[in-house]
Amino acid sequence: MELGRVVSELGLEPLATGDLTRDVQGGYACDLLSDVLAHAEAGDLWITHQRHLNVVAVAKLRDLAGVIFARGNRPSPDVVARAAQEGVNLFLSSEPAFEVAGRLHRLLHP
């Protein structure tokens, strides 16, 4: 499903956006960067509570469709700026990670 539609359907707040026409393949919910590096697939939307610069690096390295910061955990301006520079999509959700993951799953697998 196109990323722009996912963002709209989930009511996500865009923080840094690049290609919103990108296809979202799935989701990955985890706060361990090493686990995301080892198991997230290209095209996944990563749901996390982590808010530091390494999130951008991991998302870029794994070619993720984007990162959703759950529970209103807004990253600092330097993280958003780096994501914009690197072309990494960042979004904010006020919902807990469990809710975001459930809604994303229902959206991608009706």
| 18 confidence band (pLDDT: 50, 70, 90) | confident
Tokens of 87: 């072309």
Domains of the chain, CATH where assigned: 3-108 (3.40.1390.20)
DSSP-assigned states of every residue in 6-60:
HHHHHTPEEEE-S-TTSBP-EEEE-S-HHHHHHHPPTTEEEEES--SHHHHHHHH
Do the Cβ atoms of 70 and 93 come closer than 8 Å? Answer: yes
Phi, psi of 92, rounded to the nearest 5 degrees? -120, 140
Do the Cβ atoms of 89 and 65 come closer than 8 Å? Answer: yes
Q: What is the pLDDT of residues 31-77, one digit of tens each?
A: 999 999 999 999 999 999 999 999 999 999 999 999 999 999 999 99
Tokens of 35: 């686990």
